[in-house]
Chains A and B, each alone.
Chain A
Amino acid sequence: MQNAASTPFSFRALRRALGWLVVGTLLPFVAAAAERCPDRVFGFFETQGYSTRKVLVSGFWLLKRSLMADKGALADLEGKPFKEEALKHAKANLRETILRSPSAFDSPVGITVVGVRLVNCTEGGNGKELDIEYLVFTTKVPLASIRTLEHAHQEMEHPAEALALSPSKTRFRATPRLAYDASQNFLVGGRLDARLPPAGIGLGLDGQGWSESLVAGGDISGAKESDQGWLRKLTWRGAFEYAHRPADMLQLDSGRVLGQLSVVTAPVGSLGVVFRFGTLFEGGHQQTGLAPSALPAGALAGSRFANWRSYGGISLRTGRQAFASSYGLLLGRTGSGQLIDYRKQIVDAAYNARLLLAPHRPFEVDTRFTAGFLAQVGPTPVSERFFGGNVETPFMPGPEWVIRANPVLRGIPAYWFQRTTANQVPGGDEFAVVNITLAIPVFGIPVIPLEASQDPEIREKVRGFVTDGASGLVPIYELDDPAQKNLFDTRRESFAKTTAAMEERIGALKPSVPVTLQPVYDACAEKIGDLAANAAGITRTTPWRNFLKDDPTEGYIPVTLQLCLVELNGPLKDTELTRLGDELKEHQKAIAEQVAKIDTNRAKRLAQETLAFPATVIHTVFDEMTVVSVSPIAIFDAGRIRPTAPGQRSASYSVGGGVRLTVASSVTFEVSYAWNLRPRPWEGRGALSLGIRFIDLFGQ
């Protein structure tokens, strides 16, 4: 058994490491402010004989880094006479590079804005010099998952992936971790993720440990996301895991394999609430190292187990607030012959809010309430009881939905918050905990540099993208309508055949057209040519509504009928053309009938739903999010665990503080200490917690 108070730990070493971490983290972001050059066109600087000193890219840090890493045409500009054509060529290459870069996710719409300005114009020993600055912003619109509390967390930690703020390298990722807590000592490890291209299946290896503790496992997972229908996201996972964790007087050892399925529904109501459901089967073996004779009947020191976990909940985000509430039910058996030996229920609710005290200084409030109940109806493994402390145990694996399943009290080492008297069976059978964390950033660098986010032209374009209605998306959602599909399946071939025959007939009539009709003939020939080409080019994603439009500039049906049937064939009276014209009218009628059946209201609703929520998120990206932030944090936890012996208290309290450093999409660091206000003899007076997590070691 290890005593938290006696754990060797050098605060001086920690302080030194912290100092280096902060300095090393901030250095890449320190840059001199750029001075605008005179407000003249590019040609002016070319004729004045300026040369290009440096080429800069401003934008989300990872985007900037990936673009500068492959500088190519940009680097070619440096140290050479300034040329307008070369600048434009480099800008075109930059746009091309962004468009070609793999995106974190597919999105029905996206926008990329690239602006150019000249800065730092000087005249000195090297002659006239200037820097070229490319300001870049790109984003896409995530679908249903954006409405979850977990996505709100991901946006702050990994905006590159959560909001596609930069191209995302999704094939392979390494995320090392370093952590410390008094119970488990130092933990070193991390996660390796690989994504297999054909179906986007993910393979992961996860592990961390050191002298006291070891957790290792692997998983295979996949997800399918849709922007239509009631079921918007389905995630599946298969995994195996081995765990060896110290918990005061015992070890929590287990090995398990599991299969998991969870779904997210379409947003419901004006608040856009999404419902989530999931189920998980697992089986394995657990042991605690306790002597069976030391335990009362019904408590198993070691056993096989099979668990069925079912869970459901809601999540919503509105403005700067996010809320999630979940319920989990575990039904388990140990092979005693009974169908169910134990039943565990978890209620977990979390509410996060950000108050913007100053630009890029959001005051963050994270609150969480968790309660658990274990009913033993047969032999029950000790490890299924509740073990709390300053480490969270999730109800099921996966980052997309987190249900906390143990009492988290940050003033008590991991898994040591588990009993109220010395001689009790380890682990609680009931708990309730409230956690509150406050964070106030004292330092922050905006995720989008001020030059880009405050430029009125870029800002206006991006604001327009998310706020000026969603009508442009309506045709995209109409494409999926059954009427549209019906037209493609039943009408495409015959319609293309008729228009092709008509084009051929018009061509054949050319020699017989009198000079007076020549202008009409030429106009008719052009329109039927366009119509035949449009009909021959119909795909499943062609909007059929186009063909009915009375637009004189396009090769659609009404203008073609007017020119070719009325104005040309009126005088010509060609029987074959008349017959083909009648066929075309039949097509027009059939297309009109089907187009009238398209559920435009549904398409409008889906389009609005797609763009409604990201407006808030984009606003957050520009005015609130930071690429680097340093925040002091305050911690308060209150909880109780049962059973309690007569005269024993069940409540515990933790109060503490710490520092959190986040470099978006790169690394998070948090160190905190919480005092255990009313410690029991085996719990210690407080607990130190330290965690460093690299979000993507190899970056973008």
Chain B
Amino acid sequence: MPSSSLKSISIDIEVMTHDRLRKVVFGLDKETADSGDVTWTIDFKLFEREKKTDEFGDPLVKLDAVVVKKPNFDKAEDTARTGKFTAAQTEHALGPASVDAKRFKDGKIPREKAAATAERTIAKRS
């Protein structure tokens, strides 16, 4: 198989709750430099709707371009490779990551704290 010619690739993982009223989209964006060094960023979006027959529309909360720290690169790569969360990652995305994204939107915490919580979703991969 030929090598990938992609210098930039993104993977958006959607997880929808069983009641179909809430959806988390966890996007991982990977850029590769000439040297082979990579950078990872996260786009976190939380969607909610009143009824499952409605469209989700705009995200209730979104956190864009959260830079992943180097210690989490392997876990980011692993998450992107499988295109799926582990159980701990799903629980974190639906729990603290969603709560802190909302707290940031409501002005209760700074962006840095919400971004750090979103990044910890990656770190929950064991």
Contacts and interface: CB of A to CB of B under 8 A. Distances in A.
Interface of A: 36, 39-42, 44, 87-88, 91-92, 95, 98-100, 102, 106-118, 135, 140, 197-200, 227-228, 454-462, 464-465, 468-477, 479-480, 530, 533-534, 537, 539-543, 545-546, 553-555
A546 B99 CA distance: 13
Given A39-B5, A480-B18, A553-B123, A533 B34 contact: no
Interface string B49-81: 001111101000000100000000000000011
Contacts of B84: 109, 111, 464-465, 468-470, 472-473
B30 to A, nearest CB: 9
B86 A471 contact: yes
A454 B2 contact: yes
Q: Is the interface of B mostly helix, strand, loop or mixed?
A: mixed
A475 B45 contact: no
B7 A454 contact: no
Interface of B: 1-22, 25, 27, 32-34, 43, 45, 51-55, 57, 64, 80-87, 89-92, 94-96, 98-100, 102-103, 108, 120, 123
B6 A462 contact: no
A470 B55 CA distance: 26
B4 A457 contact: yes
B123 A109 contact: no
Nearest to A39: B5
Contact of A545 (B27, B33, B91): B91
Contacts of B43: 92, 95
A87 B31 CA distance: 12
Contact of B83 (A199, A455, A462, A477): A462
A108 B95 contact: no
Nearest to B34: A41
B10 to A, nearest CB: 5
A584 B51 CA distance: 34
A30 to B, nearest CB: 23
A541 B123 contact: no
Nearest to A106: B20
B100 A472 contact: no
A108 B52 CA distance: 13
A541 B21 contact: yes
Contact of A111 (B14, B45, B54): B14
A539 B99 CA distance: 10
Nearest to A547: B95
Given A541-B94, A554-B96, A88 B120 contact: no
A543 B22 contact: no
16 contacts: A95-B27, A95-B43, A99-B25, A107-B16, A109-B15, A110-B13, A116-B8, A140-B14, A197-B53, A454-B1, A461-B82, A472-B15, A472-B85, A530-B100, A533-B103, A537-B99
Given A475-B94, A541-B94, A117 B83 contact: no
Contacts of B120: 553-554
A227 B19 CA distance: 11
A36 B22 CA distance: 41
A541 B11 CA distance: 24
Given A116-B7, A537-B98, A553-B123, A199 B18 contact: no
Contacts of B53: 197-200
Contacts of B14: 99, 107, 109-112, 140
A203 B81 CA distance: 42
Contacts of A534: 95-96, 99
Contacts of A112: 11-12, 14
A99 B45 contact: yes
Contacts of A118: 7
Contacts of A135: 6
Contacts of A477: 18
A541 B85 CA distance: 17
B5 A472 contact: no
Given A95-B27, A108-B16, A541-B21, A117 B85 contact: no
A36 B3 CA distance: 12
Contacts of B11: 111-113, 461
A541 B95 CA distance: 9
Given A537-B99, A541-B19, A553-B120, A460 B6 contact: no
A540 B21 CA distance: 10
A91 B102 CA distance: 26
Contact of A476 (B18, B27, B80): B18
Given A44-B34, A546-B96, A115 B81 contact: no
A117 B7 contact: yes
A25 B41 CA distance: 41
A543 B12 contact: no
A116 B9 contact: yes
B125 to A, nearest CB: 10
B96 A541 contact: no
Given A460-B81, A476-B18, A554-B96, A95 B10 contact: yes
Contacts of A468: 81-82, 84
Given A464-B84, A471-B86, A109 B16 contact: yes
B108 A533 contact: yes
